[in-house]
């Protein structure tokens, strides 16, 4: 793996040197050329070249131009003073600022860190003889050097001039490197119960983790004598993947040359040493996690509370308790001795890994073909969740494909990329070609199959719009509305919007989509529609991406509901047949990707049923590629696109205002993507400011364990208060990941058990979740557990034992009894019954029980629920959040929504985003700004269709621009201002009534420059259409006036 970070030119270079050298003193002599009789000469030289020296070294073969420009003496090792000056963007010899600084460089260097897999680190530190370990270290070093050559070729370009004079010059670059062999153990420490949280290094032996820091100076010495900066725009997340894959491929080659048997891991991202056992790899990866627990247990045994201790006390206790536990012999530099001792306790014989293994010899053609087969699977996997990808990913996956079969150089990568482009990939079981285009000044790729899916969706929607049947009788609908009991008057504006939406869905033909914000009452307004459809003798079926969402439609009177996967299966098998009198209602449309949406549309084409969809684009997005709602917005006319932009869920107007701020305004054609992103972040910041004023959001201090405990305590306090006050919907809690959900749920369970609300453990089962994560699940009476499947229970009735639905994936149930052959469970509605272990077992794969910890749920699972209060818990910070997730999590409550965020995780993310050595302190305002940036990030999914259409649309726009220019000239000749013409169009009543979502969003193709022209052309087209419709209406009225009267006496 290769990670990268920035190094600030504004900091104190001496501190960076001390940090990188891990406080080692400067060497008195150059062991490569100077005699030192008092030292073990062989050991010193091996240490220098294989990673034990760690004091820093210049790159091999540094060019004379860059060395002269930076004042570097390559004949001697770097001194601390020279390095400190370079880190401040000054010459190493004189301390003068680097030449060529028209404006002062903010960055002095980039830190590229090369890290092998843990098994390679263990082999380099513990296996075989010292010389064998040195050889492995040398292989790591060689791989790092070759990767740095690739990186320097990639970014060693100085950009000069601007506009028409802009050009690039290649030049020489330079780096210094540091070899480290441990991962520094760190913990989040809070200074007392209300103090700030900081990440500190714990004074105990770290875990073995070989890695090399390559500090590439932000300087490019060109042949013309210019000293420019690196082309940092080429340093991206994708290119870091490329560099990391290349490092792994080269390392694999070097290890094979040493006779070490290696294999690629299951992700095809890293090379592993086969001789290092998995249990050792796991142990040395997770060992430091016990550090804080030992200290906390010691404090508890003394009758004190860890959270109330000062940072100084915590640090002292951490040092003492962990040196007593296994670390008694640790002196600060003898980690290897301690690791060997631990390996023996594990029963691992750290013998040589150089087994003289000979890798299979393959021809170049065989290597390229094998790499192609791996690469296309990785590319296809990426396309499953994104319709458009960075084209550089082809090189990334080509390189990953070469890790397992060998690489001879970068030309191998280009050859595999050529094969991918020529042969294509297999996507959704279909052989398809890659499409590559420039989009927003970046090369992007899509695949023909995804484009076909999106085109087909659009074509089916257009086909359904041509079918003018399927409307409800207005009188039947009016009666159903009157009988529904729905309140449309207490909130007049909202009620009017709901009524308008009901009439629009009823009056639409075969297809319509209602877009409503969270808490708009979308399901409730279905009640009169379902009643009217049934009165007309129509069959109504409901579906959603998950069973729980589908079954929620039963509240609207829909009797037959299916999870989407089951519905498609029923259609395909012929078990479920709908006709042109049937209506399919689809909820949470934002979570349904174009691929399954197309399957529904294809079944509709065969059967003829009507479709009514509900959803909100700014809630949870589909996991699969594409954006179905965007396709609907583009294809459907306003009459088939009712919208409700207000909410009733939150009782107070202030809470409604906060909820609205977490929602994006959507794709605004008048703003660039950057401007829209900035506006969304500002809105999220305003929402957080309001919640801070209300006391409903907190940055929670302490370690991850402490944050989870705080969240659990808040949940229990609010639960107890709501129960005492007689509230029935209670408090719910959501978190971004399944790991967060499990941690919070277990913490809540521990508290409930301590309070006696949960009994003693009756069983511990080997369990598994829907993502394949395995764990032990304790079960006791009154435990709350989560279902991962649609489960039926056996219930005793007067007519014997009957099977009834208990719950679906995402539902919580309560354990009422633990029996030898199963569980007695009770759902939220009070239904209680027996479920056998076999009904819960993962029969196909692991034979484990498919149950999870209850209480907390993921944000995706929370979409659609309503509770009295809700806790949006983020115990690992906000980095994994998006604006879509935040909007869902912040809109589940009726009375109060709480937000709990790990301060330490946010602080760490803020620090990582900054350059090393940045002298500016991290303030609380910086943390809140980072939270706002994460919670305000709305990255709408791209369409593959846009990639292939963009050039064609651009050419069309150019042609229309020419026509508009000719028309403008004619307007001038008629003494009319073009501005006045445009203003007239803007004021056209038809345009005023047209929703922005109907406009073709060409901003993302042409940015701000083409917006006014686009809007003017669309306005003209709509005005002409409106005029034509008015003319036809007038003609119809004249015909009626000329017709003979049917009324007596007239």
- Per-residue pLDDT of 403-430, as tens digits, reads 999 999 999 999 999 999 999 999 999 9
What CA–CA distance (Å, rounded) separates 189 from 328? Answer: 23
Count CB atoms within 10 A of the CB of residue 250. Answer: 25
What CA–CA distance (Å, rounded) separates 708 from 755? Answer: 18
Are 525 and 538 in contact, with CB atoms under 8 Å apart? no
Q: Vertex 275, ends 270 and 278: CA angle to 5°?
A: 65
| 289: DSSP letter | G
Beta-carbon contacts of 592 under 8 Å, excluding residues fewer than 6 positions away, are 545, 564, 586, 622, 628
Q: Read off the tokens for 795.
A: 């219930």
Residue 574 or 1016, more confident: 574
**Average of per-residue pLDDT across 6-17:** 90
What CA–CA distance (Å, rounded) separates 836 from 848? Answer: 13
In what helix (H) or strand (E) does residue 730 lie, and over which residues does it extend? none
What CA–CA distance (Å, rounded) separates 17 from 916? Answer: 11
Beta bridge partners of 610: 583
**Average of per-residue pLDDT across 336-341:** 83
Are 806 and 831 in contact, with CB atoms under 8 Å apart? yes
Share of the chain above pLDDT 70, in %: 79
pLDDT at 620: 80
What CA–CA distance (Å, rounded) separates 607 from 596? Answer: 17
How many angstroms from the chain centroid is the CA of residue 202? 31
pLDDT class for 675, splitting at 50, 70, 90? Answer: confident
Report the DSSP pairing between strands 610-615 and 583-586. parallel
pLDDT at 952: 53
Are 141 and 50 in contact, with CB atoms under 8 Å apart? yes
pLDDT above 90 (res 1033): no
pLDDT above 60 (res 963): no
pLDDT at 912: 87
| 130: DSSP letter | H
Q: Read off the tokens for 256.
A: 């094979």
Q: Read off the tokens for 1018.
A: 């669309």
Count CB atoms within 10 A of the CB of residue 818. Answer: 17
Are 204 and 323 in contact, with CB atoms under 8 Å apart? yes
Q: Which of 550, 389, 481 is nearest to 944 (CA)?
A: 389
Residue 701 or 165, more confident: 701
Beta bridge partners of 778: 764
Q: Which of 275, 245, 291 is nearest to 114 (CA)?
A: 245
Which of 289-303, 677-691, 919-933, 1026-1040 has the weakest average pLDDT?
1026-1040
Beta bridge partners of 823: 818, 835
**Average of per-residue pLDDT across 390-408:** 96
| Residue in this structure with the two tokens 């919070």, named with its chain if needed | 744
Helix, strand, coil percent values for the chain (each to nearest 5): 45, 20, 35
Are 563 and 550 in contact, with CB atoms under 8 Å apart? yes
In what helix (H) or strand (E) does residue 874 lie, and over which residues does it extend? strand 867-874
Q: Read off the tokens for 552.
A: 């929620």
What CA–CA distance (Å, rounded) separates 232 from 575? Answer: 58
What CA–CA distance (Å, rounded) separates 692 from 698? Answer: 7
pLDDT above 80 (res 307): no
Are 990 and 1023 in contact, with CB atoms under 8 Å apart? yes
Reduced to 3 states (helix: H, G, I; strand: E, B; else coil), residue 1044 is coil
Are 705 and 691 in contact, with CB atoms under 8 Å apart? no
Q: Read off the tokens for 135.
A: 């050889």
Beta bridge partners of 822: 819, 836
Residue 494 or 697, more confident: 697
pLDDT class for 847, splitting at 50, 70, 90? Answer: very high
Reduced to 3 states (helix: H, G, I; strand: E, B; else coil), residue 275 is coil
pLDDT class for 84, splitting at 50, 70, 90? Answer: very high
Crossing angle, helix 393-403 and helix 364-385, to 10 degrees?
A: 130
In what helix (H) or strand (E) does residue 510 lie, and over which residues does it extend? none
In what helix (H) or strand (E) does residue 181 lie, and over which residues does it extend? strand 175-183
Q: Read off the tokens for 1029.
A: 């419709």
What CA–CA distance (Å, rounded) separates 825 from 835? Answer: 7
pLDDT at 996: 41
**Average of per-residue pLDDT across 363-375:** 96
What CA–CA distance (Å, rounded) separates 971 from 981? Answer: 8
How many angstroms from the chain centroid is the CA of residue 324? 41
pLDDT at 950: 54
pLDDT above 70 (res 798): yes
Are 849 and 738 in contact, with CB atoms under 8 Å apart? no
Mean pLDDT (the chain, rounded): 84
Q: Read off the tokens for 335.
A: 């980690």
**Average of per-residue pLDDT across 509-533:** 92
Q: What is the CA radius of gyration of the chain?
A: 33
Residue 302 or 213, more confident: 213
pLDDT at 871: 97
Q: Read off the tokens for 471.
A: 């409307």
Q: What distances in angstroms separate CA 368 from CA 185, 248, 269, 375, one per listed residue?
A: 41, 17, 17, 10
Reduced to 3 states (helix: H, G, I; strand: E, B; else coil), residue 906 is helix
What CA–CA distance (Å, rounded) separates 839 from 849? Answer: 9
Q: Where are the beta strands (DSSP E) in 622-666?
A: 643-644
Beta-carbon contacts of 903 under 8 Å, excluding residues fewer than 6 positions away, are 196, 197, 699, 700, 701, 702, 927
pLDDT above 80 (res 22): no
Share of the chain above pLDDT 90, in %: 58
The dihedral built from the CA positions of residue 407, 411, 415 and 416, taken in this order, carries a sign that is positive
pLDDT class for 1014, splitting at 50, 70, 90? Answer: very low
Residue 845 or 725, more confident: 725
| 1047: DSSP letter | S
Are 639 and 614 in contact, with CB atoms under 8 Å apart? no
What CA–CA distance (Å, rounded) separates 942 from 624? Answer: 11
What CA–CA distance (Å, rounded) separates 195 from 43? Answer: 47
pLDDT at 674: 79
What CA–CA distance (Å, rounded) separates 654 from 660? Answer: 10
Q: Vertex 663, ends 914 and 658: CA angle to 5°?
A: 95
pLDDT above 50 (res 992): no
pLDDT class for 661, splitting at 50, 70, 90? Answer: very high
| 830: DSSP letter | S
Residue 30 or 222, more confident: 222
| Residue in this structure with the two tokens 């029923």, named with its chain if needed | 570
**Average of per-residue pLDDT across 299-316:** 67
| Residue in this structure with the two tokens 């709602």, named with its chain if needed | 629
pLDDT tens string 226-274:
899 999 989 999 999 999 999 999 999 999 999 999 999 998 999 999 9
Q: Read off the tokens for 302.
A: 């003394």
| Residues composing the chain | 1050
- Alpha helix locations (H) across 88-203? 118-126, 130-155
């Amino acid at each position: 793996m290769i990670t990268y970070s920035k190094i600030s030119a504004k900091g104190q270079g001496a501190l960076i040197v001390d940090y990188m050298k891990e406080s080692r003193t400067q060497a008195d002599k150059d062991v490569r050329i100077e005699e030192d009789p008092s030292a073990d000469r062989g050991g010193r030289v091996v240490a220098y070249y294989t990673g034990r020296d760690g004091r820093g070294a210049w790159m091999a073969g540094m060019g004379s131009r860059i060395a002269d420009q930076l004042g570097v003496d390559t004949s001697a090792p770097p001194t601390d003073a020279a390095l400190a000056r370079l880190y401040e963007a000054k010459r190493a010899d004189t301390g003068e600022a680097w030449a060529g600084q028209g404006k002062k460089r903010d960055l002095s260097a980039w830190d590229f860190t090369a890290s092998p897999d843990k098994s390679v680190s263990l082999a380099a530190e513990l296996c075989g003889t010292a010389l064998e370990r040195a050889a492995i270290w040398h292989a790591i070093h060689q791989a790092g050097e070759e990767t740095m050559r690739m990186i320097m070729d990639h970014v060693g370009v100085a950009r000069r001039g601007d506009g028409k004079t802009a050009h690039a010059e290649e030049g020489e670059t330079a780096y210094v490197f540091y070899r480290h062999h441990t991962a520094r153990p760190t913990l989040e420490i809070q200074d007392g119960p209300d103090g700030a949280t900081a990440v500190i290094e714990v004074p105990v032996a770290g875990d073995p983790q070989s890695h090399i820091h390559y500090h590439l100076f932000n300087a490019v010495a060109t042949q013309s004598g210019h000293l420019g900066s690196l082309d940092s725009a080429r340093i991206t997340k994708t290119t870091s993947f490329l560099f990391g894959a290349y490092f792994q491929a080269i390392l694999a080659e070097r290890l094979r040359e040493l006779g070490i048997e290696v294999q690629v891991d299951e992700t095809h991202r890293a090379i592993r040493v086969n001789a290092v056992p998995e249990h050792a790899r796991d142990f040395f990866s997770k060992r430091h996690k016990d550090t804080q627990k030992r200290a906390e247990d010691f404090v508890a045994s003394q009758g004190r509370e860890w959270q109330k201790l000062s940072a100084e006390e915590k640090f002292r206790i951490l040092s003492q308790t962990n040196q007593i536990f296994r670390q008694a012999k640790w002196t600060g530099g003898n980690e290897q001795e301690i690791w060997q001792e631990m390996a023996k306790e594990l029963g691992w014989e750290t013998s040589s890994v150089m087994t003289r293994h000979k890798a299979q010899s393959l021809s170049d053609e065989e290597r390229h073909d094998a790499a192609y087969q791996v690469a296309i699977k990785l590319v296809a996997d990426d396309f499953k969740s994104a319709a458009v990808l960075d084209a550089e990913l082809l090189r990334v996956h080509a390189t990953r494909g070469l890790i397992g079969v060998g690489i001879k150089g970068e030309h191998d990568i280009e050859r595999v990329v050529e094969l991918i482009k020529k042969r294509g990939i297999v996507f959704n079981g279909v052989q398809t070609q890659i499409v590559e285009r420039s989009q927003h000044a970046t090369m992007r790729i899509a695949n023909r199959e995804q484009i076909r899916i999106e085109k087909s969706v659009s074509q089916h929607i257009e086909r359904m719009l041509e079918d003018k049947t399927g409307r409800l009788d207005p009188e039947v609908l009016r009666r159903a509305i009157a009988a529904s009991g729905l309140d449309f008057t207490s909130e007049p504006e909202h009620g009017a919007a709901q009524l308008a939406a009901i009439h629009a869905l009823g009056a639409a033909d075969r297809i319509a989509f209602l877009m409503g914000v969270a808490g708009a009452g979308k399901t409730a307004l279905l009640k009169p529609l379902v009643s009217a459809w049934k009165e007309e003798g129509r069959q109504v079926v409901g579906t959603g991406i998950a069973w729980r969402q589908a079954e929620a439609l039963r509240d609207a009177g829909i009797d037959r509901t299916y999870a989407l996967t089951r519905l498609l299966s029923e259609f395909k098998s012929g078990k479920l047949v709908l006709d042109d009198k049937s209506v399919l209602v689809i909820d949470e449309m934002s979570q349904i990707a174009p691929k399954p949406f197309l399957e529904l549309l294809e079944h509709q084409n065969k059967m003829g049923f009507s479709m009514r969809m509900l959803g909100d684009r700014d809630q949870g997005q589909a996991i699969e590629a594409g954006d179905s709602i965007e396709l609907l917005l583009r294809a459907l006319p306003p009459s088939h696109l009712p919208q409700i932009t207000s909410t009733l869920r939150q009782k107070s107007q202030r809470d409604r205002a906060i909820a609205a701020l977490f929602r994006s305004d959507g794709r605004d054609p008048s703003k660039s993507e950057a401007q829209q992103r900035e506006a969304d972040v500002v809105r999220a910041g305003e929402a957080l400011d309001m919640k801070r004023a209300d006391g409903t959001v907190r940055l929670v201090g302490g370690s991850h364990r402490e944050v989870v405990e705080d969240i659990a305590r808040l949940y229990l306090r609010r639960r107890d208060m709501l129960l005492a006050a007689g509230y029935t919907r209670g408090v719910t809690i959501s978190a971004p990941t399944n790991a967060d959900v499990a941690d919070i749920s277990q913490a809540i369970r521990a508290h409930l058990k301590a309070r006696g609300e949960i009994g003693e453990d009756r069983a511990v089962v080997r369990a598994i979740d829907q993502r394949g994560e395995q764990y032990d699940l304790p079960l006791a009476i009154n435990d709350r557990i989560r279902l991962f499947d649609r489960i039926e229970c056996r219930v005793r009735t007067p007519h014997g034992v009957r099977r009834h639905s208990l719950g679906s994936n995402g539902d919580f149930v309560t354990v009422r009894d633990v029996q030898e052959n199963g569980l007695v469970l009770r759902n939220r509605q009070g239904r209680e019954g027996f479920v056998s272990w076999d009904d819960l077992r993962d029969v196909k794969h692991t034979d484990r029980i498919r149950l999870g910890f209850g209480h907390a749920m993921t944000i995706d699972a929370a979409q659609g629920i309503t509770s009295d209060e809700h806790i949006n818990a983020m115990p690992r910070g906000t980095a994994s959040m998006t604006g879509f997730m935040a909007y869902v999590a912040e809109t589940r409550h009726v009375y109060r929504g709480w937000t709990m965020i790990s301060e330490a995780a946010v602080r760490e993310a803020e620090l990582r985003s900054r350059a090393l050595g940045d002298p500016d302190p991290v303030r609380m305002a910086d943390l809140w700004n980072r939270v706002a940036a994460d919670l305000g990030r709305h990255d709408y999914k791209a369409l593959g269709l846009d990639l292939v259409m963009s050039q064609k649309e651009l050419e069309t726009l150019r042609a229309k621009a020419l026509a508009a220019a000719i028309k403008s000239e004619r307007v001038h000749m008629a003494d009319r201002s073009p501005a006045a013409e445009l203003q007239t169009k803007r004021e056209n009543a038809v345009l005023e009534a047209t929703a922005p979502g109907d406009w073709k969003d060409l901003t993302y193709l042409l940015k701000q420059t083409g917006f006014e022209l686009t809007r003017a052309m669309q306005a003209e087209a709509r005005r002409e259409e409106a005029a034509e419709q008015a003319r036809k209406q007038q003609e119809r009225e004249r015909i009626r006036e000329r017709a003979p009267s049917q009324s007596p006496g007239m």
